[in-house]
Amino acid sequence: MVLLSILISQALVLHVIERAIPVPVPVPGVKLGLANIISLITIMLFGFKEAVIVVVLRTLLSSLFGGGLSSFLYSLAGGILSSSVMAYMYLKHKNIFSIPTISTVGAVFHNIGQIGVASLVISNIHLFYYLPVLLISGVITGILIGFTVEFTVEPVKRILKIGGA
């Protein structure tokens, strides 16, 4: 549980850093998704259940620090859907899909989950018209996050003293 607490705190720090970085795209809702680095690393090191714990607690705590109920719901839906898809791809098919591919698909599903919940909350299906813009940004950031995970997972293993690393 201590290792998961460390990962949750890392995800929170990345969330805070991300909020401080201006995104060079004038489109509301476009984010880098830095905390997803930790979600994917958690899937790779511990598995799906632990990743959901990290996502839920990170989302709850970050919402308490600077969000509202709606942002909590959007982030939670996106995070759980994204983690579910990434966990399935990694745990069942890691020999087929690269980490950047898994991350990219996760980013796309994160956006789908968020738009889905937002359209339910405000009862407006037309929010899905906004999805292509979010998907383009999701693909770009998903690739970047995936390469970041690919280069950082082994050092994280060593720092946390996990496995043979």
pLDDT at 164: 54
Cα atoms in the Cβ-side hemisphere of radius 13 Å centred on 9: 6
The Cα 20–Cα 4 span in angstroms is 25
pLDDT at 70: 80
Q: Tokens 């839920």 map to which residue?
A: 56
> What does the pLDDT look like over 126-147, one tens digit per residue?
888 888 988 999 999 999 999 9
Q: Where are the domains of the chain?
A: 2-160
pLDDT at 163: 66
> What does the pLDDT look like over 12-65, one tens digit per residue?
999 889 888 887 777 777 788 899 999 999 999 999 999 999 999 999 998 887
The crossing angle, in degrees rounded to 10, of helices 2-20 and 48-66 is: 50
CA distances from 165 to 15, 52, 126, 141, 153 (A): 27, 24, 48, 28, 10
Q: Is the pLDDT of residue 165 over 60?
A: no
Q: Which CATH architecture has domain 2-160?
A: Orthogonal Bundle (1.10)
pLDDT at 66: 75
> What does the pLDDT look like over 75-114, one tens digit per residue?
999 999 999 999 999 999 999 999 999 999 999 999 999 9
Longest dimension (CA), the chain: 50
Q: Is the pLDDT of residue 154 over 70?
A: yes
User: Integer distance in angstroms from the first to the last C-alpha of the chain?
Assistant: 20
pLDDT at 91: 95
Task: Supply angle C-alpha 48, 80, 111, rounded to 5.
Answer: 130
Q: Whole-structure pTM over 0.95, yes or no? A: no
Determine the distance from the C-alpha atom of residue 26 to the mean position of all C-alpha atoms in its chain, rounded to a whole number.
Answer: 21
User: Are the C-beta atoms of 37 and 148 separated by less than 8 Å?
Assistant: yes
